[in-house]
């Protein structure tokens, strides 16, 4: 399997009025997504924000769970949080991973909305082999803005339940997506 990363995009995303904004970090997203990334064998979990105060908040949270009081209190969370890394946005992340691997990553975006050319989960799971790193880009606020989608080489089909209600939190959506792409059942082991 290629090295796969999760990226939580805080910029550029839409707000409720479809204005393009940088959203605020939510600390529960950070440690819940870190746990999901750790469970499903991801190589890292990037939190993407260009805002200095938001980066400081992430650094403080990472330090709390890695070397501060949290590291003694909850060692499994500390283990998961060790996957968290920071970068400004998908452009910056592409630059970082290209330098690290000598190959530009395959960035796959996620959205609750359907659209033309969305790739299915089975097809995407079949593209996870090889040396090229893979990034699963997740949105915050009202989802990835157009400039973030433009950084995605592919867009995954939306997860759909049997109802019209389609408002999963990013943490729930990520868990379903990771299970479909990286879960043992999908790889035929169960």
Binding site for ligand SAM (CB under 6 A): 110-112, 138-140, 142-144, 158-159, 166, 168-170, 173
Least distance in angstroms from the C-beta of 105 to ligand SAM? 17
Going by C-alpha positions, the residue among 166, 141, 152, 173 that lies closest to residue 21 is: 141
Distance CA 83, CA 79 (A): 8
Closest contact distance (angstroms) between CB of 158 and ligand SAM is 4
> Cα separation of 145 and 178, whole Å?
22
- Residue nearer to ligand SAM on the CB measure, 85 or 180: 180
Residue 78 or 145 having the CB closest to ligand SAM: 145
Full DSSP string of 14-46: E-TTS-EEPPPP-HHHHHHHHHHHHHTT-SEEE
Question: Are the C-beta atoms of residues 153 and 133 closer than 8 Å to each other?
Answer: no
Min separation Cβ 124 and ligand SAM, Å? 12
Question: Whole-number minimum distance, CB 142 to ligand SAM, in Å?
Answer: 5
* Phi/psi at 72 (5° precision): -85, -35
106 vs 173 by CB, closer to ligand SAM: 173
Comparing CB distances to ligand SAM, the nearer of 61 and 138 is 138
- Find the residue with minimal CB distance to ligand SAM: 139
- What is the Cα–Cα distance from 12 to 21, expressed in whole angstroms? 6
Q: How far is the CB of 17 from ligand SAM (least distance, A)?
A: 14
Is 27 or 169 the residue whose CB approaches ligand SAM more closely? Answer: 169
Question: How far apart (Å, rounded) are the C-alpha atoms in residues 7 and 77?
Answer: 18
């Amino acid at each position: 399997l290629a090295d796969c990363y999760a990226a939580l995009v805080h910029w550029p995303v839409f707000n409720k009025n479809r204005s393009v904004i940088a959203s605020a970090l939510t600390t529960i997203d950070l440690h819940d997504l870190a746990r999901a990334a750790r469970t499903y064998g991801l190589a890292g979990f990037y939190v993407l924000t260009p805002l200095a105060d938001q980066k400081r908040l992430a650094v403080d949270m990472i330090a709390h769970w890695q070397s501060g009081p949290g590291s003694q209190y909850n060692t499994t969370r500390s283990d998961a949080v060790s996957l968290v890394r920071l970068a400004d946005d998908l452009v910056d992340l592409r630059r970082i991973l290209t330098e690290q691997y000598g190959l530009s990553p395959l960035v796959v975006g996620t959205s609750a909305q359907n659209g033309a050319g969305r790739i299915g989960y089975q097809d995407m799971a079949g593209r996870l082999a090889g040396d090229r790193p893979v990034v699963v880009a997740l949105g915050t606020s009202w989802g990835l803005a157009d400039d973030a989608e433009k950084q995605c080489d592919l867009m995954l089909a939306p997860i759909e339940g049997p109802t019209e209600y389609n408002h999963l939190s990013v943490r729930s959506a990520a868990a379903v997506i990771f299970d479909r792409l990286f879960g043992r059942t999908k790889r035929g082991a169960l």
